[in-house]
Amino acid sequence: MKLLEPGFVLDGFVVDECVHSGGMAHIYRVHYADGAPDPGFPMVMKVPRMTAGDGAENIVSFEVEHQIMQALTGVHVPRFVAAGDLARTPYLVMEYVQGRTLQHWLDAPALPPVDEVVRLGAAMAYAAHSLHQQNTVHLDLKPANVLIRPDGSAVLLDFGLSCNALYPDLLAEQLRKAVGSPAWIAPEQVVGVRGDPRSDVFAIGVMLYQLLTGKLPFGAPQTAGGLRQRLWMDPPPPRQRKPELPPWLQEVVLRCLAQEAAQRYPSAAHLAFDLLHPEQVTVTARGMATQGTGAWVHFKRWIKAAGMHYQPSPLPMQQIDEVPIVMVAVPHQDASDATLYSLRQAAARSLGTRPGARLACVTVISPSQTSSTREEDSETTVQRRYMTQLRQWMQPLDLTGHQTSCHVIESGDPAQALLHYARGNRVSVIVMGAATHGLKTQRFLATVPIKVAMEAPCTVILVKQSLPFEQLRLEDEPAQDDRDVPF
């Protein structure tokens, strides 16, 4: 299809300039013709290329994007406006999002600093997680398809190769070959497995590797044999190319790039968590390595990959629900053994049925507790003391197969501090005590647990102390539910 001329009117949309001409589609700025309502945001029209020399995937990907974009919502995807059918002129009209694609940072004269790469990586991970929560896997994440808004959030573009578990996978049905961009495609995609959200985690890992080293971890293979090599081969460690990179960040990147999906982060939210809490990342030999994996290891992986049977992926939302980030709000003072025991039991139940789930232990302290003394290291000392208490609280738990972290937050508003942490880290479950915080005569005022339960973006489990501790109270001791239990 030839380029549309400025001023051309199509179904009430006036074509402006062409802003992008790619291998699969042309993209134009458009606006409504006179008399049509203003949508309140700028728009673009995407028209697929359909000349004699273009492949069938152009048509199929148009149908896929048409189908999926109408089902997606949220700030991490462009808003869908309208579509034209194949019988006349196929097109998609959507929001034109202001910002720069990730390619901008890769084309710059110098690589971005590490803290900026971390920020970009977390933004990409949160955008991917939002997509996965809608049962959609992008499957074509690459620098040109990730747009960063001026506020730092990420918007994902181009869903022509995506898979939504609730709709037929047209690409899998009509094309019998691996589809995706060779430099960023995940190993399981190479063998035709689509729909695993950890494929997007792999692609984010490739982009992080690029941003940190200026190189592609697996090059840009042009053949099926070249693509298959990533089923058993590791890339050179980023610190081999940039020795000054922190080991914790290499640990994160190489975990994203693991050959088997089960060895990667179980969800994009877990990836973002590690990027934003580097002090909680456990650095293994992988993070410290400055030399690539030996040929013998690659040979054994090659043997394993040759006989591996890949299974279809379950629903993306089901996968990420099975590996939640569980946050436990642990009181730091005036908490009885019964309360701490009950919280621990509730946390154990939440983790026990979810291998791979992360446990985040959080306590909120008043700013006055770190400013009560003028010693130079008083704040550090106080933080260290409460971190030690949290780790002691965790010790009896069986945490095999779970990542853990401890966080001490200073705030004069415990409820808002807990809510801010939960939203910012995409927490799936909050476990906290059901104390009324001493408001015995003021039941009409919301307590901290009630405030959190009312405003939380996720499931909240309010825990009361359990037997046998309830029977062991002294008769003159007030019930735990009526005591002030600060977080």
H or E element, residue 13: strand 13-21
Closest CA to 161 of 151, 152, 174: 174
**Mean pLDDT for the chain overall:** 86
Q: Which two tokens stand for residue 109?
A: 């004269």
pLDDT at 21: 83
Please give the Cα distance from 103 to 60 (Å, whole number).
Answer: 26
Task: Note whether 245 and 107 are within 8 A (CB).
Answer: no
Question: Which whole number is the average pLDDT over 67-88?
Answer: 91
Give the orientation angle of helix 247-256 with respect to helix 198-213, to 10 degrees: 140
Higher-confidence residue: 470 or 378? 378
Beta partners for 9? 14
pLDDT at 316: 87
pLDDT at 56: 63
Please give the Cα distance from 391 to 407 (Å, whole number).
Answer: 10
Question: Which whole number is the average pLDDT over 424-450?
Answer: 71
314 pLDDT band, cuts 50/70/90, is confident
Is CATH 3.30.200.20 the classification given to domain 9-95? yes
Q: Is the pLDDT of residue 439 over 50?
A: no
For 440, how many CA atoms within 13 A lie in the half-sphere containing its CB? 8
Burial class from Cβ neighbours inside 10 Å (0-12, 13-18, 19+) for residue 176 reads: exposed
Please give the Cα distance from 180 to 234 (Å, whole number).
Answer: 20
Q: Is the pLDDT of residue 85 over 90?
A: no
Listed by start position, the domains of the chain span 9-95, 101-319, 324-482
pLDDT at 212: 97
Q: Is the pLDDT of residue 480 over 50?
A: no
* Candidate from 37-41, 189-193, 471-475 with smallest mean pLDDT: 471-475
Q: Class of the 101-319 domain?
A: mainly alpha
232 pLDDT band, cuts 50/70/90, is confident
442 pLDDT band, cuts 50/70/90, is very low
pLDDT at 440: 44
Question: Which whole number is the average pLDDT over 215-243?
Answer: 89
Q: Is the pLDDT of residue 161 over 50?
A: yes
Question: Does 9-95 match 101-319 in CATH topology?
Answer: no
pLDDT at 468: 57
Q: What is the pLDDT of residues 336-365, one digit of tens each?
A: 788 889 999 999 998 987 888 999 999 999
Question: Which whole number is the average pLDDT over 189-200?
Answer: 90
pTM for the model stands at 0.87
Query: What is the fold, at CATH topology level, of the domain defined by 324-482?
Result: Rossmann fold (3.40.50)
